[in-house]
Chains A and B, each alone.
Chain A
Amino acid sequence: GAVVSQHPSWVICKSGTSVKIECRSLDFQATTMFWYRQFPKQSLMLMATSNEGSKATYEQGVEKDKFLINHASLTLSTLTVTSAHPEDSSFYICSARDRVTGNTIYFGEGSWLTVV
């Protein structure tokens, strides 16, 4: 089946620094990728929709200047958490829609971010 790879799987960073998370579709082209955040024992909350070659669409309450999203190619989207703070510590997970099969959405493995 289709594979979405997310890297790193876990990262610890100091408060005030920036962290980049990559999401790659390995064997399909993804015109659209989605970024979610999941706090412990909570659901996945959509942060933004990333379209290849255009600006991301952010959900209400998500700071676009803090969570920078770049979708430069059909197989790669990146999420950069800028000036990270402890409250940004969470499980971040991406998903990608296969442009060929249409509706099918595949998830990356997720990235655990801990800001100390």
Chain B
Amino acid sequence: GQNIDQPTEMTATEGAIVQINCTYQTSGFNGLFWYQQHAGEAPTFLSYNVLDGLEEKGRFSSFLSRSKGYSYLLLKELQMKDSASYLCAVRDQAAGNKLTFGGGTRVLVKP
């Protein structure tokens, strides 16, 4: 089976930086995804990592260390619209390449 852990909730100030950590255990790692989900809406894709290192996309970056079973999503220059849940998901080749999601981290951005 798989185990994916991420914090339940984080609070940060507008303009600041927040780092959301995700740790996982899986037998056939084949990629890690980050999704953003605003309240009452569907998740939308943010980033994908399959090799170690940092992937940068504008204000958002995602990092992966396969040896440590660890990823983080970095949100820079926070805006009020970044208040949302952020979901970490791992794809497992040993499980038919389906995604398993963590419980999500709710980020609240305050003025």
A-B complex is real: no
